[in-house]
Chains A and B, each alone.
Chain A
Amino acid sequence: MAEISESSNSSKISSPKAEQEEDDFDSNTMRRTKPGLKRLALAFSVLFSFLLGFPLLWKSIEIYRAPLSFKDVDLLFERIKSNPLQFPCNFRAIFVGFDSKTSEELSRLGYSISNRMTGLASKTPQCGTCSGNFSVSVMIDSNSGCVESRHTPNACSHQCGEIRSVDFGANDDTVDDKLESALGDCSGKSYTVVVVNGDTGYKAVIGKYRHAWIVGRFSEEEAVLKISEIFVEVFMKGGNEEGAIHGEFMPVGADGRIVLSYNLLNANPQDWIYDWDFDRIDEDMLSPVVEALRNVANISVESQVLYHTPKSSYSHWDDERGAHIFSVGDLPFFVNSNEWHLDTSIAAGGRSKILHFVVYIPSAKECPLLLQLPDGEISKTNGFISPMWGGVIVWNPPKCLREPESGHPAKHKISSHDLQMINEVFMGQLRQLFGLTSDSLFLGRLGKAIQLTSDKGFTEWELDVLSRQHACFNLHSCATTLGSLSRLVQSLPRMIIMDEIGKQVDFSLEAAKQAENDASLGIFDSSADSSRQARSLAEDAFFHPSIMSVSYYSFEHCFAVYSPFFLPVSLHVILAALKEWKRYKQEKTKYLTWKAKVDTAAS
């Protein structure tokens, strides 16, 4: 309104001059007044308030995402990938009965051993070994006193002459214990090989602690070769070829727990019923093992007896052996998952690994049931394992004698001797599931060595190897899981991330860092422990229920909700602003033409 009145006013004001201009004033191309700015300002203020409000709206529809430290995750991933976890190891060679040498000569000897070891160890640094980071010290314990090589980090001195006094001709276990008492109080965990220059025949023994000894008559060069082989193949690699654990053969669950589920299966209780006294096995035989593996996994043990559990494939009668033979080819069909209700344990968490150990007692009509190896031999243990699942032993009742047809079968108990035998096989199976061999002889390239076994099922150097390997595997798995989580989270920008996930990721990263630190300091067990924690936390974060559930609030949904309002309104606002702007420009040119005209007329 104002503009209209203004224009009318101005037209009145300009009326005195109007006479002369009337003829060349064209209302289509000229105007006498300045174009008004009110509507333009209005249209633009609406447009700008919309533009300003847009970030607010964006903020309001934003979903909650806990900040995840993507950078740290990526760093960890890169670090684990580029330089595999290496542990420092100390090796020590002690020569007994050799001529005395100077310290320099011993250093040279140590240098040649470590050279040889580098040659034996694989070229590329393998994860979880100490191939890249080890030190060798050499010592001679001779009649004229003890000489040590220089540069012996972490040197722990034992009483000179103590090693010499050990009678290496005695029982292996006694020697082992004596060596342990002489060397074991070293604070650092170092592996020792004692070379004894003696007249007795060649003999190499790997003890159940961290020692080995070689007795025989050989030159220094020979000794160097043997020492370095034992260091590398046994203490470093654990006696098996491939050092690292493959993902699909990892016997520990993602939460760092294992449930050992022992099952006694009576295939047909109509024939005989066997029971066992599992409490005793648990207390006497399994608890030391559980304790020994504490750093690698948190193990719990449970047992049950099941009945009416036939195997799912048939055996054939062999007259020669007087037994039913089950050949290897049918072995995949031995486990009858329909009838063997080896339930998953309720006591275990969701991601624990359950290893089933099954004692199968055949029914009377297939009684002496023997497993046949591919070469036609009969399996000595009458058992087999299935990686990641567990192991099966076929136990035949003594003499396969069935009770007279009284209708009611007698109830028996497996004798303690048999139970012990069964448990030994189970221990061997457990060792195999953990990737360790159960041979009593270590066959090296340069001869064989006797391996002593521990009451705990696992010797200390084997536990070290396991700790190293598991620490490596766990860290690797933790880094991969966190890496996938961070990629997933980054690829779905509208996924809700709970605070708890952020916390778990942080804790996991922290535990991983701790594991790496411990590894670099050579504390194997605590490194394995922290890495287990890191892996379990990473898995917890990845499988957090809030990620699994319907957490994806899509952009399409958001668009569908807001577009019915914002699409038409923004059209109006933008068009209004554009039109006003156009009009203002047009009117301004009109005014300018008139002004120019007036100016020319005036001049």
Chain B
Amino acid sequence: MELLRRPIFSLLLLLSLPISFPSISLGSAVQGEDGHREEEFTEELLLKPLPDRKVLAHFHFENTAQRTQSYGRHHHLFPKAISQLVKKFAVREMELSFTQGRWNYESWGGFDPISSSNAKPPGVELWATFDVPPDQVDASWKNLTHSLSGLFCASINFLESSATYSAPEWAFQPASGNLRYGTLPREAVCTENLTPWLKLLPCRDKAGISSLMDRPSIYRGFYHSQRLRLRPAKIIADGADSGIVLEQTLTVVLQPNGFRTKSSHSSENKIPPTWAMSSLLGRKIEGRCVLAKSSNVYLQLERGLVAELNALKENQEFVGTTVLNDDLIENPAFEISVKPDWVLKEVGNLPTGSSSLMYGYSIGKSTDSGPFDLHLTWKSPMVWSCPRPPLHASRFLMGSGNERGAIAISLRSTGLNEGLYGSNKDKESCVLPVNVFQVVPWYIKVYFHTIKVFIDEQRKAVPDVIEKIRVSPSEDKVLPGVMEMVLKLPCGVKSAAMTLEFDKGFLHIDEYPPDANQGFDIPSAIITFPNVEAAMHFNQFSSSDKSPLLSRFREKNPVQSYTEVLLVPLTTPDFSMPYNVITITCTVFALYFGSLLNVLRKRASEEERLLRAKGRSSPLSRLLAKLRRKKEVEPQSSTTSSSLFSSKLVVKIILVAAIAICWQYFG
């Protein structure tokens, strides 16, 4: 505090600052058109009970800015830092995600907009497209990684090296050559990344929906993914990008603190745990962020759940107790504490019979009646399933040892594809295309010719299955190996697998990360189903004008899922090895050199003469002579010289020892 205090004090005397600054002409003082209103901010929260008794909370904040003259310099709502970033590096589109935990595609869904755009691989994932000539893209990317690294307190700058990022052409996203993609699977995500992310919101976490972000509750969750997405806004009809949209989402999967324990397997246990927003997130919504154009909370009921509820309803109607509305607000299975302001129903071409329901709450209204809190009380057991992706993807390693191995990607049918293509009678010609995008670090040397494809446990010829493939082989220390391919699988496929063999490379001693014994991560592969779109259309309720969250749901994005991150153990050297090698090699050389020199100077006859002169004087020489089977010759009397020699030797040894000791202690 003292430090802080001193410099500011020195200038307090300047407090009185007489206005002496007249006559600055203010051009046309007329307030112009409502210029800054072009910046818009909305906040939304989606809650969804999940089939495995957890609850999904998805925060969605959207900030729109027009590209005006002063873009990147003067801003009212849009964060200045982001706009400067966009302007400086000519970013066209960008997505940055920080994730902890792995999305469970089986039980949390893999076929809805939330999972296909918000389920992210663990660690950091960053991709961006740039509005620059192709030869400057790499430079822009490197600068961008450094800026983001500073902005979000993360080691995104490690994505700078060309061995960590790649340029996918079509399997990740249909994009021009200006796309760069990189991941850091081992980045730990915590509050220090969330705080700068919150700083970009106009209300930060002081008011509105973002005030729900109680750090301990969020980080206690099973999955936590914080995302920042920049996209060009095409508001004006001519299609030119007239602005930029900053979309910030936070997706968390939380376990409600259920009152029931899951010890028994009774039917009682099938009742999902009752939860409230305040118990789940630890806080209530005190009021909306006044800067937000709209501030809504949604509760989504999945198709599976709605179908179960409808079935229950029919049963009950049959019994004749209650008559239920179509919106299921009153139903025998659960009760919600606040009546929704509007109910939206999914419309359109639905694969399964029932449609999903969305209860909407507008926060602006509910502030009058105290803080907003939503309770969901379950009354009867309920089991349902979530929409799964057509194929469940997983990836694993095969082989053992530190030399070679194989990566296997396995796709297992979830039974959905039959439903999807059930109507298609001509099963032979029906094809399910699957895009696979896989980046492999250079030290995993993948042999792409070893691709083997198995469909329904039958090995298939590669050209029969792979429609299109693009491989960019890795280059040591420079480029990662990238594989993009389109698989065409028959619709009725039960399982498909693909294996790739690899050799483990050696790293230079400088390239090992700290804790190298932990192993090395292979980033997640991305499996995309280009023909299957995860879009949800809700009948627009008039008052819920243009909710950005719902318009994101309406976007026709292909279903996408990420595989696991693989951990490959590599041979890790003893890190003191180089010095040991240097020492031993040098010692050997020195020995060789010394003995060579000694041999060169040796005088054999003279030594023999000396030996003869010494005779039996020393037992060692006698032994040597014996070993050489030399006849002993009568010694000439020279005992004095031998004693002299030995005393000299002793002195020398002592001298060397003394030098060594001195070296040890004073060197």
Q: What residues make up the interface of A, taking CB atoms closer than 8 Å to B?
A: 1, 3-4, 39, 42-43, 46, 269-270, 273, 275, 277-280, 282-285, 300-305, 307-308, 328, 331-332, 335, 341, 343, 345-347, 371, 373-374, 377, 379-381, 383-388, 407-409, 413, 415-417, 419-421, 423-425, 427-429, 432, 438-440, 451, 453, 455, 457, 560-562, 564-565, 567-569, 571-573, 576, 579-580
Is B73 a contact of A302 with CB atoms below 8 Å?
A: yes
**Contact status of A407 and B367, CB under 8 A, knowing A269-B291, A270-B290, A453-B20:** yes
Q: List 15 A-B contacts (CB under 8 A).
A: A3-B603, A4-B603, A269-B291, A279-B70, A341-B199, A347-B72, A373-B16, A380-B19, A384-B14, A427-B21, A440-B20, A562-B586, A567-B590, A568-B587, A576-B597
Chain B residue with the shortest CB-CB distance to A331: B12
Question: Which residues 1-45 in B have Cβ within 8 Å of A in the complex?
Answer: 4-5, 7-27, 29-32, 35-36
Q: How far is the CB of A337 from chain B (nearest CB, A)?
A: 9
Question: Which residues does chain B contribute within 8 Å of A415, judged by CB atoms?
Answer: 31
Residues of A near B27 (CB, < 8 A) are 280, 283-284
Cβ A305 vs Cβ B75 within 8 A: yes
> Closest CB-CB distance, B400 to chain A, in whole Å?
38
Report whether A307 and B17 are in contact in the complex, using a CB–CB cutoff of 8 Å.
no
Distance of A408 Cα from B4 Cα, bound (Å)? 38
Is B85 interfacial (CB-CB < 8 Å)?
yes
B residues within 8 A CB of A572? 590, 593-594, 597-598
B147 within 8 A of A: yes
Q: Mark B49-90, 1 if CB is under 8 A from A, else 0.
A: 000000000000000000001101111110111001101100
Quick check: is B423 within 8 A (CB to CB) of the other chain? no
A408 / chain B contacts, CB cutoff of 8 Å = 290, 364
Residues of B within 8 A of A278 (CB): 70, 74
Q: A332-B12, A453-B23 are in contact. List 16 more A-B contacts (CB 8 A).
A: A39-B600, A269-B291, A282-B73, A303-B73, A307-B206, A346-B151, A371-B15, A377-B16, A380-B16, A381-B18, A384-B14, A409-B290, A416-B26, A424-B24, A439-B20, A572-B594
Interface residues of B in 164-201 (CB under 8 A from A): 199
Question: With the chains together, A594 CA to B71 CA distance in Å?
Answer: 105
Whether A424 lies near B601 (C-beta < 8 A) is no
Asked whether B605 is an interface residue with its Cβ less than 8 Å from the other chain, the reply is yes
Of A1, A386, A567, which one neighbours B11 at CB under 8 angstroms?
A386
Q: Which residues of A contact B512 (CB under 8 A)?
A: none
Determine if A282 and B23 form an interchain contact, defined as CB atoms under 8 angstroms apart: no
Interface residue ranges, B against A (CB under 8 Å) = 4-5, 7-27, 29-32, 35-36, 69-70, 72-77, 79-81, 84-85, 87-88, 147, 151, 199, 202-204, 206-207, 287, 290-291, 364, 367-368, 579, 582-583, 585-587, 589-591, 593-594, 597-598, 600-601, 603-606
Contact of A332 among B4, B14, B73, B151 (CB under 8 A): B4
B291 in complex: contacting residue of A273, A374, A407, A427, CB < 8 Å: A273
Contact of A416 among B16, B23, B29 (CB under 8 A): B29
Q: Tell me if A407 and B21 are in contact (CB < 8 A).
A: no
Partner of A307, one of B72, B202, B587, B600: B202
Tell me the bound Cα distance from A39 to B599 in angstroms.
11
Q: Give the chain A neighbours of B77 by CB distance below 8 A.
A: 305
- Which of B10, B17, B31 gathers most chain A CB within 10 Å? B17
Shortest Cβ gap from A405 to chain B (Å): 9
Q: In the complex, what distance in Å separates the CA atom of A377 from the CA atom of B203? A: 36
- List the A side residues contacting B589 at CB < 8 Å: 565, 569
- CB-defined contacts of A576 to chain B, threshold 8 Å: 597-598, 601
Q: Which residues of A contact B17 (CB under 8 A)?
A: 379-381, 383-385, 425, 428-429, 432, 438
Q: Which of A307, A347, A379, A440 contacts B16 (CB 8 A)?
A: A379
Among the interface residues B35, B368, B590, which one has the most CB atoms of the partner chain A within 10 A?
A: B590
Partner of B601, one of A42, A280, A381: A42
CA gap between A388 and B14 in the complex, in Å: 13
User: How close is B639's CB to chain A, nearest CB, in angstroms?
Assistant: 15
A438 touches B21 (CB 8 A): yes
Residues of B within 8 A of A301 (CB): 73
Q: How far is the CA of A51 from the CA of B147 in the complex (A)?
A: 53
Q: A284 contacts B75, CB within 8 Å?
A: no
Whether B598 pairs with A423 at a CB distance below 8 angstroms is no
Cβ distance B85 to chain A, nearest Cβ, rounded Å: 6
Closest to B78 in A: A304
A565 touches B11 (CB 8 A): no
Chain B's closest residue to A3 (CB) is: B603
**Docked pose: A18 CA to B7 CA in angstroms:** 104
Among A43, A383, A568, the most chain B Cβ lie within 10 Å of the Cβ of: A568
The 4 closest A-B pairs by CB, nearest first: A565-B586, A564-B586, A568-B590, A308-B206
Tell me the minimal C-beta distance from A536 to chain B in angstroms. 20
Contacting residues, chain B, for A432 (C-beta < 8 A): 14, 17
B15 near A384: Cβ-Cβ < 8 Å? yes
**Assuming A269-B290, A384-B12, is B19 touching A424 (CB within 8 A)?**
yes
In the complex, the chain B residue whose C-beta lies closest to that of A424 is B21
Measured in the bound complex, the distance between the Cα atoms of B594 and A46 in whole Å is 11
Q: Quick one: which of A328, A384, A419 has the most chain B CB within 10 A?
A: A384
Report the Cα distance A335→B289, complex, angstroms: 24
- Nearest A residue to B13 via CB reads A374
B15 touches A379 (CB 8 A): yes
Pick the residue among B14, B80, B151, B597 that contacts A304 (CB under 8 A): B80
With A439-B20, A453-B23 known to touch, is A331 a contact of B15 (CB < 8 Å)? yes
**In whole angstroms, what is the CA distance A278 to B204 when docked?**
23
User: Known interface pairs A304-B80, A373-B16, A386-B8. Does A284 touch B25 (Cβ–Cβ under 8 Å)?
Assistant: yes
Partner of B579, one of A332, A560, A579: A560
Q: Are the CB atoms of B597 and A46 closer together than 8 Å?
A: yes
CB distance from A48 to the nearest CB of B (A): 14
Q: Which residue of B lies closest to A377 (CB)?
A: B16
Query: Which residues from chain A contact B600 at a C-beta distance below 8 Å?
Result: 39, 42
Measured between alpha carbons, how far is A43 from B69 in the docked complex, in Å? 83
Give Cα A300 to B72, complex, Å.
12
- A439 to B203 CA separation, bound complex (whole angstroms): 40
Q: Which residue of B lies closest to A440 (CB)?
A: B20
Chain B residue at smallest Cβ distance from A381: B17
Closest chain-A Cβ to B62's Cβ sits at a distance in Å of: 17
A427 touches B586 (CB 8 A): no
Interface contact B23-A385, CB-CB below 8 Å: no
**Is there an interface contact between B85 and A308, defined as CB atoms closer than 8 Å?**
no
